[in-house]
Structure 1
Amino acid sequence: MGKDITDKMKELDDTYNKTAGYGIVNSVQNALGTQPGNTFSRRTVNLQTNPQERYDKNLIFSDQFDGNEIDANKWKHEISASGGGNWEFQIYSPEQVNSFIKENVLYLRPTLTADKFGEEFLYRGILDVEEIWGECTNTKFYGGYRDSKYGMISPVMSAKLMLQEKFSFRYGRAEVEAKMPKGDWIRPSIQLLPRDNVYGEWPSSGQIVMAESRGNLNYGRIGVENVTCTLHWGTQWNENRWEMTTGQKKSAVETWGDDFHTFYMDWTPDHITLGVDDVPVMTSVTPIGGYFKKGFFDGDNIWCDGGKNAPFDREFSLQFSLAVGGTNDYFPDFVQNVGYEKPWCNRDHGRQKSFTSREINGGILGMERTLH
């Protein structure tokens, strides 16, 4: 791994290596003693489909989370420091402190990396994911191996759970009863990704984001009072047409973290509807001529051998995650966070910033879910 890792790590964005690390450590450190109201709780997830691809639905999966442990026959952990391709600041781990069941609630909880490995590890350690946990599920973006001499080790540990591939499905309805978390710079997501990247790497094979939010309480008007539903699709990563298939909804009360709500997806060959509490937030009707024509792409149609609704004509699989931070503008620099400034800059290349301790009003993500 030596020289390749050495050469590549030198090219990493200094925002991630230095700036993000210090700011997020200070933020998350003050967030771990959260109150019950600040959990990301998912109570029901229903998956319904029909093998004949008719829209009368059959129940294919259910999990009441009524055991003492996460069922390994149903779920698998992401184990990686890849950062989701967004240079997010977490390591996804299988540690019980980051994901656990308590009183029929599945919790995803961020913790400080230093809590497990010590403060010195962040600046002088080597993160070898396979050596620590026995496997690495995603080696992209140096997800399996990082040497602190080329950049600070990811300062936060969190969790991402994915349904086993045998529960992948095509067409039907998914429901997730959830309460979004409150906590600055945390990013909960309910999403479906293709079982197989038939049309190529993201976003060529599609992505369905049933619900995504930002945990901030006072971050412009795009914090936890707002939820977004989106389809990602494109011929390559920088040709993603998500802005043509996205919608957002403000909470009718205080925030989406104050009570449980049912987020849903209805998916047929003719349309995909994403919404909450039986109110559609985003509907994409399969376009005449397909998504290639809709997106005004140049070159050859990468979906020409697929169905009329390609790339959304293949089996997808449900997953839940709690990410922290990132440098892809999901947390924009220009939005004012009331009380203190955002503790990193997305495009602050080659500069270090000084941060003082800041408090997140949250930080523990609880997921209480029933999957049907």
Structure 2
Amino acid sequence: MYLGVICIVSFLTSTLAHPGLLGLDLGDILSPLVGPVTNDGYPDRRTTQEPNIPKELSSPKPTTDRSCIPPKTKLTTNTFKYCKGDLVFSDDFEKPFNNHQSWDIEQYMPIEEGPDFEFVSYENDDRIVYKKNGRLIFNPTPRFNESEVFGELDLRNGCTSILPSECYFKRISTQLIPPVRSAKITNKFGFTYGKIEVKAKLPQGDWIYPQIQLVSDNKYAPFKILVAYSRGNNHYVKNRDEGSSLLFGGILWNTENSDSRMKLTESRPSLEPYGNKTHTYTVIWEPDSITLLFNGEEYGRILIDIDNDERFYPLKRTFRLSLGVGVGGIHDFPEGYISIPKKPWVNADRNQLKNFFDARTEWAKTWSMGRSIMEVDSVKIYAV
């Protein structure tokens, strides 16, 4: 027993005197999560030991590069040190989604505060959002029968809105329950700046669109950041066709004026609808710019002057990644466009939901054969 104690003491004494025996240098600090770190608190890239970090908040294996560039990215869940270029979040949807720890599943009706007042109820229902073949599926489902829209809808058990009217609805006068059941999820942690990659197959069908976007933690922020946006209509024409063969990304303002709303977006035309195949959509959000990429190729860059333009102040704060499918609403399909069939509602009309519901036999047939489903393969967020 005494001999064992003497050996241990001797080993520790030798190690402290010669830290190189453990691959350390004098001054290195041991971190329980990422191994040795340098004096500035960032990971030491000399180690080849894999960090012991949960998959939802993981970095790639450290390289042999001795340098670590401190990132601009800030996380609200900062449980580990990371450097510029590190993967700070990933999800390939291998785990059962109903017990997922990385996402909040929204449940409410956007009928009170909007801002877009889409014609859906977002519901935590495994028939609407679920995992299949390693992908996360969003399956918007119409309410076809009058009994489904003329009665009441109770979403109070698990409602994610603080407004009672968005959790429980009972028909009064000409008002209807939203004619479509859909789904939307939001990342549990917020972040400021980052490179966001979403690999997905976008939904198609009349009056439907993907909600792959960054949303501010400040609900009064005047805009959101589009990672991927493309209307599902085959054709939606004004000066150009802005239907399913045109991709948008960038800053989308919460305003009814369509020209102002899209002023700080970039677009990319295609010879075929974006929903035909799975693609990778990327936003690189930095303090002075937002860069947009499609399958790794840049198609737009938006310059930002945060210090001299108060409209951009929310970009100094945290945003979260949100994934979902929207339908209709008062902003996403402005007036004055040509479509076949004709748009069945007017944005300023108080009977917009009823008119949309009455045209269900027209728009619902364009959703057939699974075209209206959005499939998400993976999500990755890197530090910048």
TM-score (norm 2): 0.68
Q: 2:197 touches 2:282 (CA, 8 Å); kept in 1?
A: yes
The amino acid of 2:348's aligned partner reads R
Residue type of the partner of 1:66? E
Q: CA 1:237 to 1:333, structure 2 compared with 1: closer, same or farther past 3 Å?
A: closer
**Contact between 1:269 and 1:286, CA under 8 Å: does it hold in 2?**
yes
Partner in structure 2 of residue 363 of structure 1: 372
1:67 deviates by 2.9
| Contact map agreement 2:149 2:179 (CA 8 A) in 1 | yes
**Could you say which residue in structure 2 is the equivalent of 1:269?**
287
Corresponding residue for 1:249? 268
Which position in structure 2 is the counterpart of 1:187? 209
Cα deviation 1:244-264 (Å, max 9, x = unaligned): 42111112x312112222211
Matches within 5 A, 1:164-313: 164-165=188-189, 168-195=190-217, 197=218, 201-203=220-222, 206-220=223-237, 221-232=241-252, 242-251=261-270, 253-287=271-305, 289-292=307-310, 310-313=313-316
Could you tell me whether the CA contact under 8 Å between 1:186 and 1:214 is conserved in 2?
yes
Match of 1:155 in 2: 179
Determine helix, strand or coil for the equivalent of 1:257: helix
Deviation, 1:365, is 2.5
Matches of 2:269 and 2:288 in 1, distance apart? 27
Displacement, 1:357?
2.3
Q: Distance in 1 between matches of 2:196 and 2:186?
A: 15
**8 Å Cα contact 2:108-2:167 kept in structure 1:** yes
The offset of 1:232, in angstroms, is 4.0
> 1-side partners of 2:360 and 2:84: how far apart?
55
- C-alpha change, 1:51 and 1:60, in structure 2 (3 Å) is farther
Task: Report the alpha carbon displacement of residue 350 of structure 1 after superposing the two structures with TM.
Answer: 6.1
Q: 1:246 to 1:72 in 2, by over 3 A?
A: same
Alignment CA distance shift 1:278-1:242 (3 Å): farther
Count of residues in correspondence between the two structures: 295
Distance 1:71 1:363, change over 3 A: same
Distance 2:336 2:215 in 1: 30
Task: Calculate the TM-score normalised by the size of structure 1.
Answer: 0.70
The superposition leaves residues 161-197 of structure 1 with CA deviations (integer Å, 9 ceiling, x where unpaired) of: 11112xx2222211112222211111112111123x2
Cα deviation 1:11-30 (Å, max 9, x = unaligned): xxxxxxxxxxxxxxxxxxxx
- The percentage of counterpart residues that share the same residue type is 29
Look up the SS of the partner of 2:226 in the other structure.
Answer: strand
Give 1:92 shift: 0.1
Counterpart residue number, 1:35: none
Per the alignment, do residues 215 and 288 of structure 1 end up closer, same or farther by CA in structure 2, a change over 3 Å counting? closer
* Residue in structure 2 matched with residue 331 of structure 1 by the alignment: 333
Find the partner of 2:102 among 52, 74, 93: 74
Matched, 1:136 2:159: yes
1:107–1:187 CA distance, 2 compared to 1 (3 A): same
Q: Give the partner amino acid of 1:323.
A: G
State the alpha-carbon separation in 2 of the partners of residues 111 and 333 from structure 1: 25
Q: Is the 8 A contact 1:290 1:310 kept in 2?
A: no
Q: Which has the higher contact order (CA 8 A, sep 6+)?
A: 1
Mapped to 2, the partners of 1:48 and 1:222 lie a distance apart of 39
Q: Indicate the SS of the match to 1:363.
A: coil
Q: Radius of gyration: which is bigger?
A: 2
CA apart distance, 1:349: 4.3
TM-superposed CA distance for 1:64, in Å, is 1.3
Question: Per-residue deviation at 1:319?
Answer: 0.8
Unaligned runs of 5+ in 2: 1-55, 61-68, 74-82
Please tell me the residue identity of whatever aligns with 1:360.
Answer: T
CA RMSD of aligned residues (A): 3.2
* Distance apart, 1:51 and its partner CA: 6.5
Change (3 A) 1:223 1:48: farther
SS of aligned partner of 2:315: coil
1:317 aligns with one of 316, 320, 339: 320
> Is 1:61 matched with 2:64?
no
Distance in 1, Cα, partners of 2:268 & 2:164: 32
Which residue of the other structure, out of 135, 141, 152, is the alignment partner of 1:111?
141
Alpha-carbon distance in 1 for matches of 2:133, 2:87 = 24
Change beyond 3 A, Cα 1:224–1:57: same
SS state of the match for residue 73, structure 1? Answer: coil
Q: CA deviation at 1:149?
A: 2.0
Instruction: Give the direction of change, closer, same or farther, for the CA distance of 1:46–1:264 in structure 2 (3 Å limit).
Output: farther
- SS of 1:120's partner is helix
Cα deviation digits, residues 308-345 of structure 1 (max 9, x gap): x62211221111110111122x213322223x222222
Q: Cα offset for 1:129?
A: 1.6
Relative to structure 1, the CA distance from residue 47 to residue 256 in structure 2 (aligned partners, 3 Å threshold; closer, same or farther) is: farther
Structure 1 stretches of 5 or more lacking a match? 1-44, 296-308
